[in-house]
Amino acid sequence: MPEETFFRKIINKEIPSDMLYQDDFVTAFRDIAPQAPTHILIIPNKLIPTANDIDIEDEELIGKLYSVAKKLAKQEGIADSGYRLIMNCNKDGGQEVYHIHLHLLGGKPLGKLISAG
């Protein structure tokens, strides 16, 4: 069994968060250290440690993350101007919490994703 993370406590409302969306499958809340004016984390309620751990039976759940991102982008007023969706995987990919999560970032021009060097 993968190790539980503090995201589980957010899902269970044991840790306070600025929650924007929750259903039986997905939870979304504002990042506590935002990297853009809008920075929302969208997570599956099921613990999946990394993108490498996504199984065929998770396909619908992963699609739901993106559907919720679309809804929240519209709700936040950034759908038309544009936004970025990012999922990091493992240490070199920048993953810090081993419970997959989709970052929804926007509210300003974000520039290039990766700079040369």
Which residue's structure tokens are 């038309």? Answer: 80
Report the amino acid identity of residue 28. A
| Tokens of residue 113, six digits | 């994703």
Q: 30 pairs with which residues across the strands?
A: 40
Spatial CA neighbour of 86 closest among 35, 48, 46? 35
- The CB density around residue 85, as the number of other CB atoms within 10 Å, is 15
> How many angstroms separate the CA atoms of 102 and 40, rounded?
8
Note if 101 is an active site residue: yes
- The token duo for 88 is 């990091």
- Catalytic machinery residues: 101
